[in-house]
Structure 1
Amino acid sequence: MTQPKAAARYRGVFPVVPTIFDATGALDLAGQLRCVDFMIDAGSNGLCILANFSEQFALSDDERERLTRAILEHVDGRVPVIVTTTHFSSQVCAARSRAAQEAGAAMVMVMPPYHGATIRIGEAGIRTFFQRVSDAITIPVMIQDAPVSGTTLSAAFLARLANEVERVSYFKIEVPQAAAKLRELIALGGDAIEGPWDGEEAITLHADLEAGATGSMTGGGYPDGIRRIVDAWFAGDVETATRHYQEWLPLINCENRQGGLATAKALMKEGGIIASDAVREPFAPMHPETRASLLRIARRLDPLVLRWAR
């Protein structure tokens, strides 16, 4: 069993903050800030904003800037915040990353450059891309290794980036057989791999912790539940961590396989934290039966999200 590195600056549960819209699809900044307060009170070690689960691809540049500024000012250093700055252009991504750092971000998360179903960049171009981003900032860069980019990033290539590109030191691995890739990445990258992290709504969390993951980036609806698993694991109590994972796995599975990015908002609306759980078109609202199933599963666990605002 691979042991986590004690020297990591950031570790633990860093859930994705959903973007809160009103019923018309406009940003609801008041609801957004209540969402953030809940997520901190629920035990998040840190937060990630503007990720795919934040519907970042449905936001305008102006909305991204407004959200970044409003959230970072409201958090005011209570927890570290990762800002997703993904863009195909290295110039734009570097500028976004620099702006995020200036606003108070602790880290940026970036996917490799891609566009549509067919436009991809080879390893030499990807290395140059991350070098440009790294040169623009002084905070860590997390590479998001996810199927949505359609770009294969081998563990050997990621380890090389960690050793050759100064700011690249965190990796969110959410591809099939993530645990095996995390083990290989840690073995190949050594001390350059400061943060090998789990993703994909914690559906592979237990296996990824066994492989040496030191952080988990999940959905935002129940950080308190994920903390029980991760805290027990890092305390060396594998039996308790396993029991908690088994308890919360039905809810994790429901989010990962059924509710998707609408899950956290559905839970937050049910708990009275936000007024609207709208997702932005062309996404469709969560099916009523899916929502009913989600809430049945959640109520058995009594997560803070359902009582924080009561």
Structure 2
Amino acid sequence: MSKNKNATTPVYRGVFPVAPTIFDDHGDIDLEGQRRCIDFMIDAGSDGICILANFSEQFALTDDERNSLISTVLDHVAGRVPVIVTTTHFSSRICAQRSRMAQDAGAAMVMIMPPYHGATIRIGETGIYDFFSTVSDAISIPIMIQDAPVSGTTLSPSLLVRMAKDIANVSYFKIEVPQAANKLREIIALGGEAIVGPWDGEEAITLMADLDAGATGAMTGGGYPDGIRRILDAYFAGDTELAAQHYQEWLPLINYENRQGGLASCKALMKEGGIIKSDAVRHPLPAMHPATREGLIKIARRLDPLVLRWGK
């Protein structure tokens, strides 16, 4: 970790996968399973971990459950790796409160989507700017803006760069929109040193193009950090051909998670490997179809990832 923006912003690089929220078969949070999940992710080579993201089913959790997960995970990690906490909320006030609480609990960074609600309630650029300014004023750790289609909000490169330059803690950007590499390239060119962390997302389905565009981090699913590490380690060492070979090896699994299994994939892999007892997602999300699960495990076994061995 080094310093960059205004000589105060920590610089994080590498693989920061999203940790799933672990439930039991009745839909209650399994804190012991959560701890085992986190231990596996660290052992598998995660440079850091993100909790309470959309792939963590954050939208299906109560505030008390969020608070319990934050304290449980941060206490259990105990500084082994930096932890990013997603604090997304429509309200500027509540998002700022959530972010301050995450910081006080030991979070290294917060990740936030622009304010949105349902299919139609959106905020204009002035409101988005003020929203992130309000959150930044409440904390002293970096803010990662998650730019993803689920918000239904267009974040122009010029707006992202203006916030990076003007708002003290806005410095990381997880870009998951179509043609993500072009957007990464543009904000890096326009923002310079204000763009401390241009990051890839979307389960690494666009990872190589995003790395070529200048991405320095990848926030993927949590099932196989060891595989993503092989790609990034080779790329950052300057061996882009080896990185491309590793990407081709792991791409079938990346694609299957991105296009078939979705957020249930990580937990299915963890249950198969004996890490967690239940791979349940919270209702009304549907359980993974048995045929989809069979396809996921079949592809994973060809790669022999740690997730299928760690708990056995």
* 2:7 counterpart residue number: none
Match of 2:273 among 271, 274, 280: 271
| Alpha-carbon distance in structure 1 between the residues aligned to 2:297 and 2:111 | 31
Match of 2:139 among 130, 137, 140: 137
One-letter amino acid of the counterpart of residue 202, structure 2? E
In the alignment, is residue 179 of structure 1 matched against residue 181 of structure 2?
yes
Q: 5+ residue gaps in structure 1?
A: none
Match of 1:124 among 119, 123, 126: 126
In the alignment, is residue 21 of structure 1 matched against residue 7 of structure 2?
no
One-letter amino acid of the counterpart of residue 13, structure 1? V
* 2:262 counterpart residue number: 260
Give TM-score, length-normalised by structure 2. 0.97
One-letter amino acid of the counterpart of residue 62, structure 2? S
| Alpha-carbon distance in structure 1 between the residues aligned to 2:269 and 2:187 | 35
Match of 2:304 among 293, 296, 302: 302
Question: Residue 88 of structure 1 aligns to a residue in which SS?
Answer: coil
Give TM-score, length-normalised by structure 1. 0.98
Quote the offset at 1:9 in angstroms.
1.3
Residue deviations 1:108-133 (CA, integer Å, cap 9, x gap): 00000000000000000000000000
Residue deviations 1:136-168 (CA, integer Å, cap 9, x gap): 000000000000000000111100110010000
Residue deviations 1:272-299 (CA, integer Å, cap 9, x gap): 0000000000011100000000000000
Question: Residue 280 of structure 1 aligns to a residue in which SS?
Answer: coil
* 1:190 counterpart residue number: 192
- Counterpart mapping for 1:1-310 below 5 A: 9-310=11-312
Residues 7-16 or 42-51, more deviating: 7-16
Residue deviations 1:227-251 (CA, integer Å, cap 9, x gap): 0000100000001000000000000
| Alpha-carbon distance in structure 2 between the residues aligned to 1:142 and 1:210 | 21
| Alpha-carbon distance in structure 2 between the residues aligned to 1:80 and 1:6 | 15
Task: Report the identity percentage.
Answer: 75
Question: Residue 263 of structure 2 aligns to a residue in which SS?
Answer: helix
One-letter amino acid of the counterpart of residue 287, structure 2? P
One-letter amino acid of the counterpart of residue 42, structure 1? A
Quote the offset at 1:184 in angstroms.
0.2
Question: Residue 133 of structure 1 aligns to a residue in which SS?
Answer: helix
Question: Residue 24 of structure 1 aligns to a residue in which SS?
Answer: coil
Number of equivalent positions: 306
One-letter amino acid of the counterpart of residue 19, structure 1? T
Quote the offset at 1:309 in angstroms.
1.2
Question: Residue 241 of structure 1 aligns to a residue in which SS?
Answer: helix
Q: 5+ residue gaps in structure 2?
A: 5-9
